Structure 1
Amino acid sequence: MNYIKQNHINARDKLLIIDDDNNTRLLIKKIMSDTKITIIETGCGREAFDLFSNFSNEIFLVILDIRLPVYDGWTLIPKFRQVNPRVPVIALSAVSPQELALKCELAALSEYISKPFRIHELRQIINSYYCYPFNKSDQK
């Protein structure tokens, strides 16, 4: 479990990144390093649930890899919803875009991003949730 602390502007300033690929987590942290967002990240599904449970009132967005050890993404989503259904979850996965789109719709996810992703698009998505953390998910 790692944290990147930056200046806070509000209580909901945490981005939870859950991906067992350390390089993906490092890349996301790097592209968001010039923001005021606090990054919480892990590569383990079980630890992800613990982090979400502890910080759900401070998290504005979860970026969730679907294929994880212990608990996979599909297992974590309903667990997250039980703790705090208002926190948007974006799936990040290398599974086929068609399969991912269908499953994300069934799981009522906010959005999904296929790997490999475009850095500027991911940053734009993260920033849109940071600026308006619940507006997007409340409209669904």
Structure 2
Amino acid sequence: MPNVLIVDDEESIRTLVEYNFQRSGFDVEAVGDGKVAYDILRARADKFDLVVLDLMLPGMDGMEVCRRLRQENVSVPIILLTARDEEVDLVLGLELGADDYVTKPFSPRELVARARAVLRRSEAVEPESKPAALQSKVLKSGNIALDVSRHEVRVNGEILEFTPKEFELLQYFMENPEHVLSRDQLLDRVWGYSSATDTRIVDVHVSHLREKIERNSKNPMYIRTVRGIGYKFSDATSTS
């Protein structure tokens, strides 16, 4: 039974989310203060499989909770809840290491489905579950080298920092060069979403990847936009 920590200061929302997770077979702990949640996770992070974290919290806001946990290498998956449907919140939350986000008002069933998808992805990347051949795989394209086992990306020989989801997205692109990949397909394969959802999360991650791997993010050589469909990763060996 997966354990989830629900963090929201609105009692009605906290109770609704807690009820739906319990009904879906989760073991749930719920708090209404960001500092309390941070202290719990610092002390008992290994007890939880997932955190559902509101942004607007007393004590410590959700962004700060997320930032501090990631700085301290607490890797428990985090889904952000936000009532502010603004690009800056989405971008910042993902940059800080959140795994997903849901905008209020939301469907409790959709939130639980997104949680299950995050958990599936988290389980899929456990090192001990990978065969030796996969663990030793290094993907190369132009001046990019992605080491699957070390979870490491080098660009022009320099190791760059990537969030877990940026790494997974780049890996999927590099494993499927010259294929046109729709946003829905990327959501399914990288995020594990089988139903339609907000595709902005794909566009934000692609934008982040371009800033890190492209010489000119406005005129990309690797991740190209296919208008009306999605993206294509070009094996730009001539860029090395």
Scaled by the length of structure 1, what TM-score is found?
Answer: 0.79
Are the aligned partners of 1:61 and 1:88 in contact in 2 as well (CA < 8 Å)?
A: yes
Query: 1 or 2 for the larger relative contact order (CA 8 Å, sep ≥6)?
Result: 1
Instruction: Give me the whole-angstrom Cα distance separating, in 2, the residues matched to 1:132 and 1:106.
Output: 18
The alignment partner of 1:57 has SS state of helix
Partner of 1:47: 36
Structure ID, larger Rg: 2
The one-letter amino acid paired with 2:114 is I
The alignment partner of 1:20 has SS state of coil
Q: How does 1:1-140 map to 2 (within 5 A)?
A: 8=1, 13-135=2-124, 137=164, 139=168
User: Deviation per CA, 1:60-116, whole angstroms, max 9, x where unpaired?
Assistant: 111111111111111111221244432111110101242322222322321111000
Structure 1: state its 5+ residue gaps. Answer: 1-7
Percent sequence identity over aligned pairs: 25
Instruction: Give me the whole-angstrom Cα distance separating, in 2, the residues matched to 1:48 and 1:120.
Output: 24
Superposition deviation, residue 15 in structure 1: 0.4
Partner of 1:4: none
Are the aligned partners of 2:99 and 2:118 in contact in 1 as well (CA < 8 Å)?
A: no
Superposition deviation, residue 133 in structure 1: 3.3
Are the aligned partners of 2:33 and 2:57 in contact in 1 as well (CA < 8 Å)?
A: yes
Superposition deviation, residue 117 in structure 1: 0.6
Superposition deviation, residue 45 in structure 1: 1.1
Instruction: Give me the whole-angstrom Cα distance separating, in 1, the residues matched to 2:81 and 2:42.
Output: 20
Instruction: Give me the whole-angstrom Cα distance separating, in 2, the residues matched to 1:73 and 1:87.
Output: 14
Are the aligned partners of 2:67 and 2:97 in contact in 1 as well (CA < 8 Å)?
A: no
Instruction: Give me the whole-angstrom Cα distance separating, in 1, the residues matched to 2:49 and 2:98.
Output: 14
Instruction: Give me the whole-angstrom Cα distance separating, in 1, the residues matched to 2:99 and 2:16.
Output: 22
The alignment partner of 2:23 has SS state of coil
